[in-house]
Structure 1
Amino acid sequence: MSAELGRALGFLHDFARRRAPVHVAVPGGFAVLDERYPGSHDDNKLIVPSWEGTDSEAASMLLKAADEVLAARAHRLVCVDDDRLGTALAPAFAAAGYTHETNLIMAYHGAPSPSPSPPPSRVERLELAELLPVLRRDWRHTLPEASDEVVDGLARRVEARLLGADKVSFHGVRAPDGQIAARADLYAHEGVAQIEGVFTGAAHRGQGHARTLMTALLAEAAGAELVFLVADADDWPKDFYSRLGFRLLGRTHSFLRT
């Protein structure tokens, strides 16, 4: 494992621990739980940094641990950092009814942004009072059949992110009509910065809002020793990030049953 990948994974682990009210030890790692947001997969999951036993032992023990630790949740989510182990576990988790996603840890290796550099004029920081209605709107569009309670919980889980790092900020790009067209989070802690939650509303895609937003976030994070993000290996944004100067550090795996 490269030093950069190790720092990125360590950042993700620490961020999850700091924001979660409850931590539970599980084979190979730990689980985080948050009763405030029971429908949030990201706030209620198992995280497995490493494994010293056999692959078959890992499959049986982790499936059992997920059922036990997440018994009060409607979902099961197991995140495995080791690429080889995650690939090996895929058949057993598929047989147990889980879907498999491969995630890419990507670090910014592009040209350094000028510092100080003012962000593009259309990018602004968003306070929670303004961000929450935007999140509710976007979740309602994504989950049209979900109850208002579920949508509100998925929006409000952002409040816990404020505990995850020394610096947590939310940013948005406005469309000409004044609506927030694209948004993302920026987390920074001890020389490492993560760009997370990059999202462009369906009505505003293909208009350059995400590039404008990413340019501003990279300028703001220019002083960090490492800037990284997590991308879905099967979705197109990974190619967009590559064009911006992000390079692959490693792959992780997540297994979800709903």
Structure 2
Amino acid sequence: MTDVLLHLCSPPEWRAALEAGVVAPPSLTDVGFVHLSTADQVALPAERLFAGRRDMVLLAVDPGRLERAGIEVRWEPGVPGDPESMRFPHAYGAIPATAVLGVLPYRPDDDGRFSAPEVPPLDDAGRGRLLQPSILRRTATREVGIAGGVAVLTDSVPSSMLHNQLLVGPGVDTATLVAEADRVLGGAGLTHAAAYVLAPAPGDADALRADGWRIEDLVTMCAPVADLPDATGTELVETVDLDELRPLFDASWRERVPGITDDQAAHLTDRYRIEDAVVALHCYAVREGDRVVATCLLKRDGGTAWLDAVETVPDARRRGHANALIRAAAATARDAGCDLVALDTWADDWKRAWYARLGFTDAGHALAAVRD
């Protein structure tokens, strides 16, 4: 789907809409409608209202969902100064948050000017591929333009490679990637170089591996919420605060990364806290006695939800905890009106086949590249 309508707002405004369940800006009270635009139009209100701002986002709204919700969209003139022949879509009613198919970071150019955005396909696969990079860009302290993409830098969690890396398109040559990593990540004082290569071209992995990068094939998987298992067997699952999961996460990272420091382990949990500022974060746990032995996270972002950090401690595996956690997360997504759940997993991980049995299908590949 590419014929979406766009609503311009800030990340805090979108987070408030997620909490409320609807997008209902002051204009709805003031003039009776929510301002929308097409991709060709949205630079006009962006320049007029938010010139030079580098934190704005575009909510990609499905007009079909507005129609099904009984919300009328009228095409009407803009404000004085807009082209007289131009008609803008105005939604006469609060927009359900679940009518938002994706959230597109919207940045001006180096001169501070906005232009028409490139709206990716927002079918199920496209929505799944968009979500993780979108969250990373919205949580970043700053974003730096690089050849073939952007770099995200997140000052509060410097140990999280996920939140301090290059996000690049396919076909960026290795020399350019290395130079940009040195310039931006090295210039920020980071001791790692990390890159998320979206929709990699043939040969990208081999070229990076030859240059000393560690490469993993990352698969985005999606499932319609209607196809996921129901909430049967979730009696042991609790909704908890993120800090209650910290001991499990800390132990997991210390097992996987020998020599990790206390601060570094803390950053890898804290990164979920900063994501809660831009998406609705739900934390789930299963306890045995007083100890949390299994967990997963769900991040709601409009009509799409993201499943993350599905983990069980070694001595509590094969007891059905992970299945129960995913069932509980799916129930939350379903109750909130989400119609799609997505996740990332390694291509050669056994979990990929398990997710497939639960109803998830492959939506696209990316390369996760790391160089010390």
Q: Tell me, which stretches of 5 or more residues in structure 2 are unaligned?
A: 1-120
Q: What is the TM-score of this pair, normalised by structure 1?
A: 0.88
- SS, match of residue 203 in structure 2: helix
- Is 1:159 the counterpart of 2:273? The answer is yes
Q: Tell me, which stretches of 5 or more residues in structure 1 are unaligned?
A: none
Residue matched to 1:218: 330
Distance in 2 between residues matched to 1:26 and 1:74, nearest whole Å = 19
- Counterpart residue type for residue 75 of structure 1: H
Count of matched residue positions in the alignment of Structure 1 and Structure 2 = 248
Residue matched to 1:231: 345
1:119-138 per-residue CA deviation (whole Å, 9 max, x = no partner) reads 71211111133223332233
Of 197, 220, 234 in structure 2, the residue corresponding to residue 80 of structure 1 is 197
How far 1:9 sits from its partner (Å)? 2.1
Structure 1 residues 125-164: aligned runs within 5 Å: 125-164=239-278
Distance in 1 between residues matched to 2:167 and 2:258, nearest whole Å = 30
Distance in 2 between residues matched to 1:38 and 1:247, nearest whole Å = 33
1:107-164 per-residue CA deviation (whole Å, 9 max, x = no partner) reads 114754688x687121111113322333223323333422222222223222212123
Of 106, 113, 124 in structure 1, the residue corresponding to residue 238 of structure 2 is 124
Distance in 1 between residues matched to 2:305 and 2:266, nearest whole Å = 28
- Counterpart residue type for residue 46 of structure 1: L
1:113–1:254 Cα change, 3 Å? closer
1:225–1:34 Cα change, 3 Å? same
Residue matched to 2:15: none
Of 271, 279, 282 in structure 2, the residue corresponding to residue 169 of structure 1 is 282
- Is 1:41 the counterpart of 2:161? The answer is yes
Higher relative contact order (CA closer than 8 Å, sequence separation 6+): 1
Answer whether contact 2:222 2:342 (CA < 8 A) is retained.
Answer: yes
- SS, match of residue 157 in structure 1: helix
Answer whether contact 1:19 1:162 (CA < 8 A) is retained.
Answer: no
Answer whether contact 2:174 2:208 (CA < 8 A) is retained.
Answer: yes
Q: What is the TM-score of this pair, normalised by structure 2?
A: 0.62
1:127–1:226 Cα change, 3 Å? same
Structure 1 residues 177-196: aligned runs within 5 Å: 177-196=289-308
Answer whether contact 2:228 2:358 (CA < 8 A) is retained.
Answer: no
Answer whether contact 2:240 2:284 (CA < 8 A) is retained.
Answer: yes
How far 1:35 sits from its partner (Å)? 2.2
Q: Which is further off, 39-48 or 6-15?
A: 6-15
- SS, match of residue 248 in structure 1: strand
How far 1:180 sits from its partner (Å)? 1.2
- Counterpart residue type for residue 251 of structure 2: R
1:6-56 per-residue CA deviation (whole Å, 9 max, x = no partner) reads 2122222221111111111111211111122222111111111x35xxx4x
Percent identical among aligned pairs is: 30
Distance in 2 between residues matched to 1:22 and 1:28, nearest whole Å = 17
